[in-house]
């Protein structure tokens, strides 16, 4: 059997070319500083304080490069530790950091189980790693032990239902190709996948694409030797057992049963999220933020007038114009396509949210009385935060 370390030495994942750093910055959730601030620190972190971060199982460096570059560009101080078992992956991550001239990074070849030896950390990123450990709970516990008071973790673990078809193929390939070198395993698996019947659960699953993008993506998806998906109940149980609590998913609207169907009276939130996941059936990954289970940390509220909202949208004026015209705003995610509909007079508030003004300043700028502002902004807040399109943060503000 090919070990996880051997796997990633042959096929560093995701496939990245350091030369591409001159062309673009790969970004996503979690580990955008503004998003981290929103979910972990109530939108009120003092970014003049150095951030000590751990990228646990950093692979070829996507989370590392994103966080270090965004912090550097904002002039925010940081100290980042990268740790991964694969020397091949580490070499790519280091080359990408050099290409950008990024400093303040310590590279470690090793296991995330040793994270407490390098901490404590204000922030931990662990994406696509815990579900590949022989004992994922041990990984969750080790990262909890590495966390500084008041800190939190951005995570991604595989989900069950959106990856239908993957696990039967993993099991079949594991039995068929046991003992073969990685290159031969890849070649033979590609032949089989190319001839899968249209009705096979994998062939008919439109949510899966990694196998089409690179050999590393194919191997990671279908030939991995250790891969444990989580549904919502198991994820919540695991977090509770290992000292964590799910503060929020990045796109909580995906888990909101009321956005799918009528919620029975008295149903608990956790059960509703579990049912929403089953009804959607398209969630491939659970992406979100964890905080210590013994901390009662609140998310930002639309009534907190000192908060600074920041939209994650390509053109805020265009969005405000569409709202003023009464047009619904399309939301297109890999898991769902939906629309946001708002009152026309919310347009002035959206247009005034330039990423620097606080809610109190937006209300004054738009000339809206406090009661009306509260009602309108409450709707804006719910619709945009549910889909990960609005965060509260002072990141980047002097």
pTM of the predicted protein model: 0.96
Tokens of 298: 């609140």
pLDDT of residue 84: 97
pLDDT of residue 170: 96
Q: 96-150: per-residue pLDDT in tens?
A: 999 999 999 999 999 999 999 999 999 999 999 999 999 999 999 999 999 999 9
pLDDT of residue 163: 96
Burial class (CB in 10 A: 0-12, 13-18, 19+), 149: exposed
Spatial neighbors of 34 by CB under 8 A, at least 6 apart, are: 310, 312, 391, 393, 395, 396
Q: Spell out, as residue ranges, where the chain has pLDDT lower than 70.
A: 1-2, 398
pLDDT of residue 38: 98
Q: 284-296: per-residue pLDDT in tens?
A: 999 999 999 999 9
pLDDT of residue 2: 67
Cα–Cα distances (Å) from 98 to 71, 103, 105, 341, in that order, read: 16, 8, 11, 45
Tell me which residue has tokens 């606080």.
Answer: 358
pLDDT of residue 143: 98
């Amino acid at each position: 059997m090919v070990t996880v370390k051997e796997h990633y030495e042959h096929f560093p994942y995701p496939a990245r070319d350091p030369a591409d750093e001159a062309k673009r910055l790969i970004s996503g959730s979690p580990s955008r500083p503004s998003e981290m601030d929103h979910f972990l620190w109530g939108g009120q972190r003092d970014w003049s304080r150095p951030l000590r971060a751990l990228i646990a199982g950093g692979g070829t460096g996507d989370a590392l490069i994103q966080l270090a570059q965004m912090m550097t560009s904002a002039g925010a101080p940081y100290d980042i530790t990268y740790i991964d078992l694969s020397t091949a992956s580490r070499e790519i991550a280091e080359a990408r950091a050099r290409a950008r001239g990024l400093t303040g990074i310590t590279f470690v070849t090793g296991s995330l189980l040793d994270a407490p030896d390098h901490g404590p950390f204000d922030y931990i990123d662990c994406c696509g790693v815990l579900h590949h450990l022989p004992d994922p709970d041990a990984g969750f516990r080790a990262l909890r032990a590495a966390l500084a008071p008041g800190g939190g973790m951005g995570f991604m673990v595989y989900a069950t239902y959106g990856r239908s078809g993957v696990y039967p193929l993993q099991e079949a390939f594991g039995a068929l190709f046991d003992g073969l070198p990685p290159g031969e395993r890849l070649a033979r698996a590609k032949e089989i996948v190319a001839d899968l019947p249209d009705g096979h659960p994998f062939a008919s699953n439109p949510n899966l694409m990694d196998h089409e993008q690179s050999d590393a993506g194919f191997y990671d998806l279908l030939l991995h030797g250790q891969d444990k998906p989580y549904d919502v109940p198991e994820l919540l149980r695991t977090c509770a057992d290992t000292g964590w609590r799910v503060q929020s998913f990045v796109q909580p609207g995906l888990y909101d049963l009321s956005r799918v169907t009528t919620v029975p009276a008295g149903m608990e939130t956790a059960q509703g999220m579990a049912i929403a996941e089953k009804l959607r059936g398209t969630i491939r990954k659970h992406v979100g933020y964890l905080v210590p289970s013994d901390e009662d940390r609140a998310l930002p509220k639309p009534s907190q007038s000192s908060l600074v909202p920041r939209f994650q949208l390509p053109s805020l004026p265009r969005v405000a114009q569409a709202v003023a015209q009464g047009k619904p705003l399309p939301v297109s995610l890999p898991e769902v396509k939906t629309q946001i509909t708002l009152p026309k007079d919310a347009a002035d508030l959206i247009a005034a949210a330039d990423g620097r003004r606080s809610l109190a300043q937006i209300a004054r700028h738009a000339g809206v009385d406090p009661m009306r502002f509260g009602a309108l902004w409450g709707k804006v807040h719910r619709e945009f935060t549910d889909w990960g399109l609005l965060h509260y943060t002072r990141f980047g503000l002097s």
